[in-house]
Amino acid sequence: MSTLIAEELAKNQKAISVAEFFEKNRQILGFDSGPRSLITTIKEAVDNSLDSCEDAQILPNILVHVQRISKDHVIVTIEDNGPGIVKEQIPKVFAKLLYGSRFHSLKQSRGQQGIGISAAVLYSQLTSGQPTKIISKIGAHSPAHYYELMINTRTNEPEIFKDEEIDWDRNQGTRIELEMEASYVKGRRQSVYEYLKSTAVVTPHARITLIEPDGNEIVFERATDKLPKQAQEILPHPHGIELGTLMRMLRYTERKKLGAFLRYSFSKIGLFTAEEICKASGLDFDIDPHDIDRNQAKKILEAFKKVKIMSPPTDCLSPIGEELIYKGLQKEFDVDFIATATRSPSVYSGNPFVIEVGIAYGGRLQKDDRVDISRFANRVPLLYQQGACVTTRAIESIRWKQYGLNQPGGGLPIGPVILLVHVASTNVPFTSESKDAIAEIPAIQNETELALKEIARKLNRFLKRQGTLKKRREKEIIITKVLPKMAEKLANTLEKPVPDISPVVAKIMGNVHIDSSADKHETGEINVRIKINNHGSKSFEFDIHQLLPYEIKRASPEPKVVSVGDQYDYIWPVKINPGNSKALTYTLELIDENDENKLGNIIVEGMEQELVTGAKCVKGV
Amino acid sequence: MASEISKKKLEHDRLAKQNLLKVTESLYDQFKEGIIPNIVMPSRTKKNIEYNDESDVWVYGGRESERSSKTVKGAFQLLKTTHTIDFLLSNHLSQNRGSTLRELYYISENWDVAKFKEQPESDRLIEDLEIITNLQREYFHMRPEEDGATMFGPIRIHEETKRGDRIIHCQEDIGESGYQIPFNVENINFVDHDANFIIAIETGGMYARLIENGFDEKYNAILVHLKGQPARSTRRLIKRMNEELGIPVAVFTDGDPWSYRIYASIAYGAIKSAHLSEFMATPAAKFIGVQPTDIVEYELSTDKLTDKDISALRSELSDPRFETDYWNEQINLQLEIQKKAEQQAFAGKGLDFVTDIYLPDRLSDIGII
């Protein structure tokens, strides 16, 4: 009975084309809502443009144009100045799913699976019934090819509606035009504008122009003419390879000996390491790799773990660099402070990766909101599922209070801050196919935290400096704007002379206050008293000079005397601790009344003027 | 009598001048002595009011707060204080003029950086000066904006107005809305009365209801309309009638946390002006309701407590003025039922219910009739 049912069922069982599968499951690829479909389309096209420009060492000029043709339909055009695509490849690149050059290569690039742009073409034909229009030209002397394409969803092969040579006034490049059900939204994080702005931050060598449906044109100008260093392709690293992958590699290798297979199929395995691995796995160095069975493959895998193998090479990665992230943030945000950091490369399960971070503080950023996070994977902005991302987890696990930001109830800190995190890897571990969030890999989280702490320390130093400056400014207001007026008003009310406010000023500023007073005796002698108060928080050493045309008597303590022309320079070296006061006294005998005015000013040598009230300061004589 | 009042006035002016000058002198001397100018005064918070056994009211305790020119805020406060004192001395006291709190705020327009940002700031500063000088603002010739509270009942008063003396009976010589209480009730003397008690009423609607129902005549009651949080003059007049004439006082408000504070400010004194408690609070005043137990017992129409109501109730639980078994029980009950009721909710039982049943019941509960 059961076999009968099985046979019955078998009649309906058939292979499903990839294209058919995605037709029914389009949310997997990021086409689940109007606004999102538009962002995903633009994102896939811009990723391709940037990748191809960088491969060809061209400074990218990219145009994104969105036109609204009805309430929920748009035409979106993306054009680049890249190397173009050769005629034969055009239909397959745009109208065949899972066709691409990058899926099998191990180097850092934006796109990986070759699904992206053809999925947008598929979405376009599903919602508008229109073919996608493509123009591509590979050089000034080559013709421009114009195609109208759809995907045959049963066979996953391109269907060509038009194939012509046309005139195109560009030297080279590719232009794609898609009509689709989608909507253009503004004013939130998940929007075309924000996506392009974020892209501009991490791609400072590109010029990106956006024309919005209302005709408004926005240019994200490039900040550098330096192209990023090209990422190199590498062989897989033995760490983190899976059994199935290893078995496939063994079966299809051209090598006839295990030792050679190991040396030339993996990175960082040389002759010596290959011998070590063979020894550790108990397999002969010269055995034919095609004869190795599942159990032996398992042993090789175990040997990979036992034998010491160098970390994978990192020239397959192309970090943006601290300087360019700085420039990117600087050109797109008007802020008071920026710090950036690029960690050295690290490895998770055999995949090399680099963490880069940036922080922008102040300016017109919102003060009372949670910080903004800009996440990137291989230079591609991640707009969705922030909460599920390892980078968010890393930010939340830092105690920001230590670095001067509030973090009420844990979670994301609060402040006028943009935090940028870039994860660059040959294989970014996304949580799902729509590539929105990076999985919680401990090595990645740890590196991200270390990088964030590095820039957080810089932020903290900046904030502390700001704090001291602010306090200083506030004190300036008190002593310049408030106290003089208060003293004047009080004197006015009481009909008394305006009191000297300098002792109070010195106290408020934490300065050294110097005050001299003179008592005239009946005998004609004058007793002078110089009082020094240190209101500061550390001790100071300086010299007090008093320039006088007379000799002084009964000085206490006794000063050094230097005669300068017809005057005497009396010098008292002073050392005074915080909170202490000292007095210098001496007596003068005046010859005549008018000379009283000649009592010289006190001069302080060896102090900054802003730390002294009541006397002039001079730099070392 | 007129000369007696003017003699009193001269003495008040002398005191005001003397005490204000003391503040100025002390700030001036601080500059001279190299002390950072500051004023220390009792802190005006819930935590710093304590019960005074002698006067039976709540006054400020020993906690002090400092206005110091060490901080920008404190420095500006002191600068404004010096300007205000100068203004009070040279414009008010020496020229025998006065202004309202609002006018003071506008006058400060000419004080450059010392001008007030908003009226509450100048109002607070005047209160500060009251505390520092130990005098009421009337001594500085400062008037509140409006008084407006009214009363109605079997009492004859003598009011000295700027247009001459008036003798007024507060039932017979006035219109339907009652006798308007002036802002300075020191100008009033009581001639005679026939009153058994005073009911202070929060809302105008209930005040009018009691007049319409003839409650004042039937029970020989003086009705005082509080108009929300009562003005100083209203509280002072209630206290004077209670103390000088020995008439008992009952307070009838809505049944919500804000209304309990109205009662507390009449009976115990207000937190923001506890320096005036001994002058204005009537410790013998009794609370009629609306009590949370009334809400339950009479099944009154209610509104749900808002978040603000709830936090106000919670804050009252930690307010020393409400630290009695009675208030604890009532407030906790209200937090439990999560409801509040207006005094006019009694209308749901019929227009006469409040005067025929509720008030007589409650007044005999609290021992007034």
B110 touches chain A (CB under 8 A): no
CB contact under 8 A, B82 and A490: yes
Identify whether residues A116 and A259 lie together within a single domain. no
Task: Identify the CATH number of the domain in which residue A292 sits.
Answer: 1.10.8.50
Query: CA of A471 to nearest chain B CA: how many angstroms apart?
Result: 9
Residue A405 pLDDT greater than 70, yes or no: yes
- Indicate whether A301 and A326 sit together in one domain: no
pLDDT at position B173: 93
pLDDT band at A109 (very low <50, low <70, confident <90, very high): low
Which of A281, A306, A331 is where one domain is finished? Answer: A306
Compute CA distances B271 → A121, A295, B120, B266, whole Å: 72, 84, 16, 11
Checking if the pLDDT of A106 tops 60, the result is: no
| Average confidence (pLDDT) over A63-88 | 92
For residue A369, give the DSSP letter: S
- For B118-174, give the secondary structure using H, E and C: CHHHHHHHHHHHHHHHCCCHHHHCEECCCCCCEEECCEEEEEEECCEEEEEECCCCC
Tokens 């690829």 identify what position? A29
| Number of domains present in the structure of chain A | 4
**Using CA atoms in the order A441, A445, A451, A457, what is the torsion angle rounded to 10 degrees?**
-170
CB pairs A-B closer than 8 Å? 77
A370 labelled as ligand-binding? Answer: no
- Cβ atoms of A77 and A175 within 8 Å: the answer is yes
- The pLDDT assigned to A15 comes to 58
What pLDDT does residue A104 have? 47
For residue A313, is it within any domain?
A: no
Give DSSP secondary structure letters for A584-598. Answer: EEEEEE-SSGGGGGG
CB spacing of B72 vs A477 below 8 angstroms: yes
Contact A615, A601 (CB under 8 A): yes
Same domain, A208 and A110: yes
pLDDT, tens digit (0-9, with 9 covering 90-100), for A441-474:
999 999 999 999 999 999 999 998 888 888 888 8
**Which of the four pLDDT bands, split at 50, 70 and 90, describes residue A548?**
confident
Nearest Cα to B335, choosing from B261, B256, B259, B264? B256
| B131 min Cα distance to partner chain A (Å) | 20
CA distance A30 to A39: 9
One domain for residues A57 and A167 = yes
**Dist. CA A133–CA A137, nearest whole Å:** 14
Burial class (CB in 10 A: 0-12, 13-18, 19+), B274: buried
Q: In the predicted model, what is the mean pLDDT of residues A592-616?
A: 78
Average pLDDT on A24-52 reads 85
Asked if the C-beta of B68 comes within 8 angstroms of chain A's C-beta atoms, the answer is no
Is A114 marked as binding a ligand?
Answer: yes
Q: Which 3 state secondary structure label does DSSP give A373? A: strand
The answer, yes or no, to whether residue A112 has pLDDT greater than 90, is no
d(CA A84, CA A370): 43
Residues B124 and B272: their CA atoms lie apart, in Å, by 9
Measured between beta carbons, which residues in chain A are less than 8 angstroms from residue B113? 481-482, 485
How high is the pLDDT of residue B281? 93
Q: Are residues A345 and A430 in the same domain?
A: yes
User: Is there a binding annotation on residue A477?
Assistant: no
Question: Is residue A27 pLDDT above 80, yes or no?
Answer: no
Q: Which residue of A474, A493, A500 is in closest CB contact with B89?
A: A493
Same domain, A433 and A529: no
**Model pLDDT, residue B5:** 62
Is A202's pLDDT higher than 80? yes
Give me the residues of chain B with pLDDT under 50, please.
1
In angstroms, the first-to-last Cα distance of chain A is 113
Q: Is there a contact between A494 and B21 if contact means CB atoms under 8 Å apart? A: yes
Q: Write down the pLDDT at residue B211.
A: 95
Q: How far is CA A375 from the centre of its chain?
A: 9
Question: What is the pLDDT at residue A486?
Answer: 94
Can you tell me the distance from the alpha carbon of A360 to that of A302, in angstroms, rounded to the nearest whole number? 46
Does pLDDT of A208 surpass 90? yes
My answer on whether A162 and A253 are in the same domain is no
CATH code of the domain containing A571 = 2.60.40.2960
Least confident of A296-300, A308-312, B26-30: A308-312
Residue A165 lies in a domain: yes
For residue A426, give the DSSP letter: S
Q: Per the domain annotation, does A591 fall within a domain?
A: yes
With beta carbons less than 8 A apart as the criterion, state whether A232 and A426 touch.
no
Measured between CA atoms, the residue of chain B closest to residue A492 is B86
Q: What's the pLDDT at A119?
A: 86
- If asked whether residues A509 and A457 sit together in one domain, one would say no
The model's confidence at residue A2, banded by pLDDT at 50, 70 and 90, is: low
One domain for residues A266 and A210: no
Q: Are residues A417 and A557 in the same domain?
A: no
CA angle A449, A455, A461 (to 5 degrees): 130
- B109 in contact with A at a CB cutoff of 8 Å? no
pTM above 0.80, yes or no: no
Instruction: Provide the pairing of β-strand B221-225 with B150-152.
Output: antiparallel
Stretch A326-330: mean pLDDT, rounded? 90
pLDDT of residue A103: 46
Percent of chain A scored above 70 by pLDDT? 93
Tell me, yes or no, whether A493 lies in a domain. Answer: no
A9: in domain: no
Q: Within an 8 Å CB–CB cutoff, is residue B62 touching chain A?
A: no
Give me the domain span that covers residue A435.
Answer: 322-464
Q: Helix count (H) and strand count (E) of chain A? A: 15, 24
Q: What is the mean pLDDT of chain A?
A: 86
Q: Is the model's pLDDT at A33 over the cut of 90?
A: no
pLDDT (mean) for A477-493? 92
Task: Check if A487 contacts B (Cβ < 8 Å).
Answer: yes
Give the separation between CA B209 and CA A486, rounded to whole angstroms: 55
The model's confidence at residue A234, banded by pLDDT at 50, 70 and 90, is: confident
- Report the residue from A481, A482, A492 with minimal CB separation from B86: A492
A265 phi/psi in degrees, rounded to 5 = -105, -15
- Same domain for A331 and A422, yes or no, is yes
Residue the block writes with tokens 């019929």: B350
Q: Are B241 and B198 in contact (CB under 8 A)?
A: yes
pLDDT digits (tens, 9 = 90+) for A364-386: 888 888 999 999 998 889 988 88
Residue A116 counted as an annotated binding residue: yes
Strands B49-52, B99-100: pairing kind? unpaired
Which positions of B are annotated as active-site residues? 106
Contacts of B121 (CB under 8 A, 6+ apart): B80, B105
Mean predicted confidence (pLDDT) in A46-55:
88
Q: Is A292 annotated as a binding residue?
A: no
Q: Do B28 and A489 touch (CB under 8 A)?
A: no
Identify which of A481, A489, A504 has the shortest CB distance to residue B83.
A489
Q: How far apart are CA B181 and CA B187, in angstroms?
A: 11
ipTM, two decimals: 0.78
A385, A287: one domain = no
- In this structure, what CATH number is given to the domain that contains residue A158? 3.30.565.10
> Which residues does chain B have within 8 Å of residue A500's beta carbon, measured at their own beta carbons?
31-32
